[in-house]
Amino acid sequence: MHFHNSLFREDNVLHHIKHYLPAQAALKDFIHHNTLHAFQDRKFFDALSEASTIFGYKTSLSLEEYRNLYAEGKIDVGILHQTITDHKGESQADEWLEKMLRQSFTENFAGRIGYFRSHWKSLYSIDPDLDIHPFLFRFLCSYLDQGISIWRFPVIEGGFLTTIREMEKNMMVSFFKSKRAKNLLYEKSVAIEDLLKILVGDETLYEHYLFDQQFSHPGWSGIVSAVEDMPKTLLDTRKISLKDLVFFELLLEIDLMDHKFGENWMPLGLKMDKKVRPLFGNIQKSEYFEILRLWQLSFEWTYYDQVLGGIIANQKEVKKPESPRFQGLFCIDDREGSLRRNIEALEPSSETFGTPGFFGVAFHYKPMNGKFTMKVCPAPVNPPYLIKEVVDGKKSEKDFHFSDYTHSLFFGWLITHTIGFWSAIRLFINIFIPRLSPATTLSFRHMDRFSKLSIERHHDHDTEDGLMVGFTIDEMTDRVESLLKSIGLVDRFAPLVYVVGHGASSVNNTHYAGYDCGACSGRPGSVNARVISYMANHPSVRENLKSRGITIPASTLFVGALHDTTRDEIEFFDDQFADTNKTAYHEYNKKIFNEALTLNAKERARRFVTIDHKQPLAGLHADVKRRSVSLFEPRPELNHATNTLCIVGRRSLTEDVFLDRRAFMNSYDFRVDPDGTFLFAILSAAAPVCGGINLEYYFSRVDNDKLGAGTKLPHNVMGLFGVANGIDGDLRPGLPNQMVEVHDPLRLLMIVEHYEEVILRMIQKSESLFEWFQNEWVLLVAVHPETKQISRFKDGIFVPYHPTFVPKQVQDTKTLFENERDNLPVFLIQKQNTHVQ
Amino acid sequence: MKEILEILIVWPFFVFFVSLFLPKNNERLISGFVFVTMAIHLFSLTAFVVYWATKGLPAINLMEFFVYKGHNLHFFIDFYFDGITAVYAITGAMLAFLVATYSRIYLHRESGYKRFFNTKMLFYAGYTLTVFSGNLETLFVGWEILGLTSFLLVAFYRDRYLPVKNAYKVFSIYRIGDVGIILAIWASHHLWHENITFAKLQDASLVSHHLEGNTMFGLFISMMLLLAASAKSAQFPFSSWLPRAMEGPTPSSAIFYGSLSVHLGLFLLIRTMPFWEHQMAARIMIGGVGVMTAFIGASIGRVQSSVKSQIAYGSVAQIGLMFVELALGFQTFAIFHFVGNAFLRTYQLLVSPSVVSYMIREQFYHFIPSPVLKQYSKVDKLRNTYYMLSLREFDMDVLLDRFVWRPFKNLGNLLRFINIRNVYFITIPTFALAVFIQLVSYRMPVFVREVLPEIFALIGLFLVFRAYAGRRDVFVVWTLLIMNHFWIVLAISFNDALTVYEILFHLSGVVIAGTLGYFVLHYVTSREKGVDLNGFQGHVYEYPKAASLFLLACLGVAGFPITTTFVGEDILFSHIEYDDVFLAFLLASGFVISGIALIRMYARIFLGPHVKSYHSVAKKSA
């Protein structure tokens, strides 16, 4: 309406709000990310105190929790003293120690957010949220709904606000109870600022008010913002923007006030007699946060020190088998580490490698008869390639319990009288003999193992959905080369090289996508494993690879596979060999895999209190599998819980160090990559992916109420894109309590085996990568490849670090797993039999 | 057979009491105990029914014992067992057993594990009592237990705002249903001149004999039963509580609101069918409510975009149809319908989280984008209106608020001048004056004497309204709620038949509970500043024991079947004359609103997000 010189810049303010809102997309695209991503330009601990002061988040464990950990010995005395001395100096150490252990503080998680807007209640005895939220949420959910409602929202092209305008015109009821709001809606030139003028009055408080308002329902605002930025996250796309939402909500607020007080009431900002403290800025460093920082550092370094001590102790040079029986490529994922260890222990002449689970082939995948494509590579990548499933044997089973008919009057009547009784039997079966059903998400369903894939592109015009179908020989060669070089597998190829992707299976799990492979955008990695194997087996590719220094013998065959991390099962692809020798080899290897999987299931089972983890292996494995199909099991697996480490180096660096499934492991051989080219690629992917996972677990764990999704037991599915408690609640982004309760909130420690100067050069190559380490959201340690000298990255430089921890040697891991349910310390595994040469 | 039946009824109560004493942290023991005892119950119930069937399905009436024997009122517990009971009991036992088994692992590590199973067992005990009840009084005991346990389970996550708010909402609507039952009991006393059993209702000639010449009174009873049934079964205009009850862990929502609790309104109608089936007007009303609900429920269900509310409204619509079936006289059909619906909805709710992966996968292969219109046509104007009304649940909540809750609050606000400084100075002398008037009233003209009970009851009711609207001082509210009982007794005392013993019988419960509540309030307010009723304060976080005691006190004052007041209420009602519907209505309203005000007090002081922010609490909207 007017363009005077105003303080309020709508676009800037909305952008600012969007920056702080939760950035979680629809459930089907669950991708882990740093919950406090908006604070990432600040130092980690500064961010913690700021986020807590402004938004009232609990950003670390509580003082009491730390003190308990200390009392239980989970924070080491020596490390604690060291941390205090390092930060406060010898002279003040005692004083700080006393404060940490005994001084009482009033903790406060009220935050500044919402204070200003709460004055509606104190000054006008009106709580706008009480009236507006239920309708607003239901309306938004109906607009965005992806297929729950039978009668779909009558959407008008042009977006959310246009639809509201048109509806208001074409409806015999109204959104509003008063006149002014209705007129403001029709008036096209009305801007947010005009509405704020009515509601708030004081220009300096406009932004503050909008923050308060949107953060009274961060979940809904977050999904609106996410849909605005990534419309594809909804299959049934909807046009909406945060601006639309803010506009509509302000109108509803004006309407509410007008309805109660007529059109003459004083705007909130002018009615305030107290001065409102600005949301941002002026955050003083307090002793309380300083103490939390010291505690957190001590907690972290208690564990880091163990790990680094373990690496030092693992001095013996492990000889690699000259002619390995088989090699396995696994995902970097923390859940794969123990499987690899078990395989290596069962077959010492095998070798395993870790690499992000999309195996360097980024593309979109379209299953047979699929109407959409899905991205199966890290989220930030947008590859122009498409892999199609051309023949498949998948059958889709139906379950009438999800059918719309049950809710209609007549069919519902028929159904309750007939199949309603079938539900009783189904219920009985599901409770006493849980088994696979159409409701189960099964990782092996992602791609039919007998299907064919269109991997090779012969003509440039092979396109679909604007994507190129398949890869050319040159493109394949590039990918295979990068993959093999980045993990250091360039010679001594075994007759069979398994490329094992991973996925998860569960039922009654709204967060199922968060259980699959993070490097495949929350999907199983089976297609990628198969595609890279096809490429590496291609004769022309191998021919090309020779000129690039990699000679894969003709006798070597790559075989794709999928590991189901919930069920601990494996499925191999294209494993019908013409050569009977190969078949025999493969059969033997399969046995090793299966045995290792059972052992892995046992190792995992120690965390599952509800199953008997001391029973014989076969029964135990069956129990573990049953979790993935049990409707009543809220923890089919524990996913990334306890993740703390990311190791980039040769297997020999940590081969005998027991890391208790807490480490992401990326194989990397500095000798193949002296100048760090591949290291840069690895770190660029690992820092945001592993760091994102780690920080999401961290924040969901420390403040499950505000930064996590709370307990999942009362969750209700909203529009297929989110969950809320009950039917009137805000969306709950973040991780549910059941996923994070056993997680120790420690930051990710990245351990890289290379020369300091190379690492330093590589992390400085990209500003966004450097930020992770410089601001200490992810910690970095370098291990000198020859001397094993350890140094930690701090304020731009590497400083030597001498771990104090000396790990115990342990021979029998079995009894250890049976006797301890909690996190295990680092120790060295003493192998019973020596390596086969 | 009698003994077996008795054991079957008492068993769940026994299990509940034992479960209270199990160690809090021993999940295995708690759930194992519930699992075994529930399995025993299911098994023996089934065995009993089979045995009973071989005996030719005889209807069994068990006159248990007299709780109170007055000269014109016998309050006795009575059980009845027939085919209807058998179906309801077995369906209930199966679902309760299956859901208990389901919850054993589902609730693993949840704080409140024991509380969940305690409440569930009490719920099941109340359910059993209700379906085995042989007269309205016994049914009412079970009914009250169901109301309380529903409140507790909806508010299972008692540290969040919405569960507590919605639990309170559910309780309030249940309480409206209670007016129906209280008045139906009162009217029945006058109609039958005894505590009529369901067994006797089977005698068609007896029923028609009593209804003869009492048509309006008979219709009044039927309407009250319908009111109670509609509230409990979420029929129009009470439907909106059902989806909002889905705040607890999914299995509790499934069993309570998906299947058992919500079908009990229907049960009440089935039970009393011999009574109302010959009243055409009653049948039309029941059918009318059913049709209305079926239509509205199905409409609202069609626009729901969250899975649990969709199931809830789907269920509501089907129960509407069951009302219709019943009104048409198809009793067996309705029972059959109930069983199918109960299992279907339970299972649907239990698998509801799977809907995401299932539907997304379905869509991936069979996607049809929803149409995006260029503009709305003329027809769309009607369609949009219908859509929006469905989305707004036909403003049922607004209606209830405008015509029920708001007037109560407004009336209460008229008495806002009563505060902590003057509450005793105003109420006690007024009451003393009233007592004096009562004592000398025999000298007053008849017309004055005739309106005095109503005036006193009205004063009591106003005090309750004041308590219901109270926001500031907890002691004022508490005092007013207790005073209400005294005013009621005074109002009834004009009936010469009321004995001192009966007065003491009634008030003793109130006084004990009132004193207990007073001390708890004193304990908490002396330690915490600013305890008021202005919003939820969540003090259970620091005072879990005080919270439990206060809940007991509230229940006692509210006439929950734990003190003599429960029977006392019935006694008082029996002294209201046949033609004094207005007084009965005033008293019933008083009981109901005071019950709501008491639970409101408990909820506001002890439940909801904790006012202290030294620990993290979820957002109010979460």
Q: What integer pLDDT is reported at residue A837 of this predicted model? A: 33
Nearest to A831 by CA among A319, A180, A144, A422: A319
Q: Which residues pair with A561 in a beta bridge?
A: A500, A572
Mutation site, A398, A423, A718, interface B, largest B CB count within 10 A:
A423
Q: Which of A143-152, A613-622, A813-822 has the lowest mean pLDDT?
A: A813-822
For residues A155 and B374, the answer to whether their CB atoms sit within 8 Å is no
> How many other CB atoms are there within 10 angstroms of residue B353's CB atom?
28
Instruction: State the pLDDT confidence band at A833, using cuts at 50, 70 and 90.
Output: low
Domain ranges of chain B: 2-358, 415-606
A632–B385: do the CB atoms touch at under 8 Å?
no
Whether the CB of A435 is below 8 Å from some CB of chain B: the reply is no
Residue pLDDT, tens place only, B27-74: 999 999 999 999 999 999 999 999 999 998 898 888 777 877 776 667
| Pairwise CA distance, residues B325 & B68, whole Å | 38
Q: Select the residue from B291, B306, B319, B376 to test the A interface by mutation, using most A Cβ atoms within 10 A.
A: B306
pLDDT tens for each residue of A201-240 = 999 999 999 999 999 999 999 999 999 999 989 999 999 9
* DSSP letter for each residue of A38-86: GGTTS-HHHHHHHHHHHH----S--HHHHHHHHHTTSS-HHHHHHHHHH
Tokens of B234: 């979420």
Q: Which residue of B has its CA nearest to A156?
A: B373
Please report residues of A whose CB lies closer than 8 A to that of B94.
424
CB A510 within 8 A of CB B356: yes
Choose between B407 and A572: higher pLDDT: A572
Element (H, E) at B456: helix B446-469
How deeply is B488 buried, as exposed, middle or buried, from its count of CB atoms within 10 A (0-12, 13-18, 19+)?
A: buried
Average pLDDT over every residue of A298-312: 96
Report residue B328 as tokens.
């048409």
Q: What is the dihedral of CA A429, A431, A436, A440, to 10 degrees?
A: 130
Interface test mutation site (partner A, options B354, B372, B375, B376, max chain A beta carbons within 10 A)? B354
Query: pLDDT band at residue B208, thresholds of 50, 70 and 90?
Result: confident
Place of tokens 């037991």: A713
- Contacting residues of B for A145, CB less than 8 Å apart: 305
CA distance B202 to chain A (A): 27
> Closest to A415 (Cβ–Cβ): which among B160, B344, B381?
B344
Kind and range of the H or E element at B423? helix B423-440
User: Residue A709 pLDDT more than 60?
Assistant: yes
| A725 near B CB under 8 A | yes
| Residue A631 to residue B102, Cβ atoms within 8 A | yes
Beta bridge partners of A647: A665, A751
> Closest partner residue to B374 among A157, A432, A711, by Cβ?
A157
ipTM above 0.85, yes or no: yes
Chain B nearest-CA residue for A148: B305
Residues 151-180 of B with CB under 8 A from A: 156-157, 160, 162-163, 166
Test mutation, A213, A713, A730, chain B, max B CBs within 10 A: A713
pLDDT in tens, A382-420: 999 999 988 766 666 788 888 888 888 888 888 888 878
The span from the CA of A434 to the CA of A428, in Å, is: 9
pLDDT above 90 coverage of chain A, percent: 79
Residue A732, chain B, CB below 8 Å: the answer is yes
- CA separation for the pair A428, A421 (Å, rounded): 11
Question: In whole angstroms, what separates CA A218 from the centre of its chain?
Answer: 19
Is the distance from CB of B105 to CB of A633 less than 8 angstroms? yes
- Cα A723 vs. chain centroid, distance in angstroms? 16
Write down the pLDDT at residue A820.
85
Residue with the bigger pLDDT between B443 and B41: it is: B41
Give this prediction's pTM. 0.95
pLDDT band of A832, cuts 50, 70, 90: low
Q: How many CB atoms lie within 10 A of CB B337?
A: 23
Q: Shortest CA distance to B250 belongs to which of B258, B260, B242?
A: B258
Higher per-residue pLDDT: B609 or B257: B609
Q: How far is B370 from chain A (nearest CA, A)?
A: 7
Interface of A with B in 50-69 (CB under 8 A): 56-58, 62
Q: How confident is the model at residue A316, as a pLDDT?
A: 63
Whether residue B581 is predicted with pLDDT greater than 80 in this model: the reply is yes
- Going from the C-alpha of A102 to that of each of A62, A72, B240, the distances in angstroms are 14, 16, 52
Peptide bond into B23 cis (omega under 30): no
Distance from CA of A153 to the nearest CA of B (A): 8
Closest Cβ opposite residue B102 in set A218, A632, A724: A632
Query: For residues A566 and A503, what is the distance between their CA atoms, to the nearest angstrom?
Result: 8
Please answer whether residues A510 and A723 qualify as being in contact, where contact means their C-beta atoms are separated by less than 8 angstroms: yes
- Are β-strands A385-391 and A463-464 bridged in parallel, bridged antiparallel, or unpaired? unpaired
In the sheet that A663-667 helps form, which strands lie side by side, from edge to edge?
A663-667, A645-649, A748-753, A778-783, A790-794, A797-800
pLDDT score recorded for residue A219: 96
* Gyration radius from chain A CA atoms: 29
Structure confidence at residue A4 (pLDDT): 52
Contacts of A730 in chain B (CB under 8 A): 619, 621-622
Tell me the per-residue pLDDT of A752-768, one tens digit each, with 9 for 90 and over.
Answer: 999 999 999 999 999 99
- pLDDT at position A317, please? 64
Residue type at B539 in one-letter notation: H
Closest CA in chain B for residue A408: B298
Is residue B533 within 8 Å of residue B474, measured between CB atoms?
A: yes
Say which residues have a Cβ less than 8 Å from residue A836's Cβ, sequence separation at least 6: A321, A348, A349
Q: What is the tens place of the pLDDT at every residue in A35-54?
A: 999 999 999 999 999 999 99
What is the CA angle B112-B117-B118, rounded to 5?
Answer: 95
Which amino acid is located at B124 in the chain? Answer: Y
Other CB atoms closer than 10 Å to residue B109's CB: what's the count? 15
B247 burial class (0-12, 13-18, 19+ CB within 10 angstroms)? Answer: buried
Dist. CA B475–CA B87, nearest whole Å? 47
Residue of B616, B617, B620 for testing the chain A interface, max A β-carbons within 10 Å: B616
pLDDT recorded at residue B46: 96
CB atoms within 10 A of CB B74: 15
Comparing A108-122, A406-420, A736-750, the range with the smallest average pLDDT is: A406-420
Q: Is A672 exposed, middle or buried (0-12, 13-18, 19+ CB in 10 A)?
A: middle
Considering only A399-408, A604-613, B593-602, which range has the smallest mean pLDDT? A399-408
Per this entry, what is the length of chain B?
A: 622
A413 CB neighbours in chain B (<8 A) are 318, 321, 337
State yes or no: pLDDT of A836 exceeds 50: no
Contact of B351 with chain A, judged by CB distance below 8 Å, is answered with yes
Inter-residue contact A148 to B305 (CB < 8 Å) = yes
Span A69-98, pLDDT tens digits? 999 999 999 999 999 999 999 999 999 999
User: Touching check for A37 and chain B: CB below 8 Å?
Assistant: no
Judging contacts by C-beta atoms under 8 Å, the chain B residues touching residue A440 are 354
Neighbours of B578 (CB within 10 A): 13
User: Per residue in A582-605, pLDDT tens?
Assistant: 999 999 999 999 999 999 999 999
The dihedral sign for the CA sequence A248, A253, A258, A264: negative
| pLDDT given for residue A835 in this prediction | 42
**What's the 3-state SS for A395-436?**
CCCCCHHHCHHHHCHHHHHHHHHCCHHHHHHHHHHHHHCCCC
> What is the DSSP code string of B256-278?
IIIIIGGGHHHHHHHHTHHHHTT
Chain A residues with CB under 8 Å of B384 CB are 154, 167, 170-171
Residue B145 corresponds to which amino acid? I
- First-to-last CA distance in chain B? 51
Q: How many CB pairs under 8 A join A and B?
A: 342
Instruction: Please give the average per-residue pLDDT across A535-541, as a whole number.
Output: 96
Q: Which residue has the tokens 């609730």?
A: B107
Radius of gyration over every alpha carbon of chain B, rounded to an integer in angstroms = 25
The DSSP-derived string for A526-561 is HHHHHHHHHHHH-HHHHHHHHHTT----TT-EEEEE
Query: Are residues A711 and B110 in contact, defined by beta-carbon separation less than 8 angstroms?
Result: yes
Angle at CA of residue A398, ends A394 and A400, nearest 5°: 175
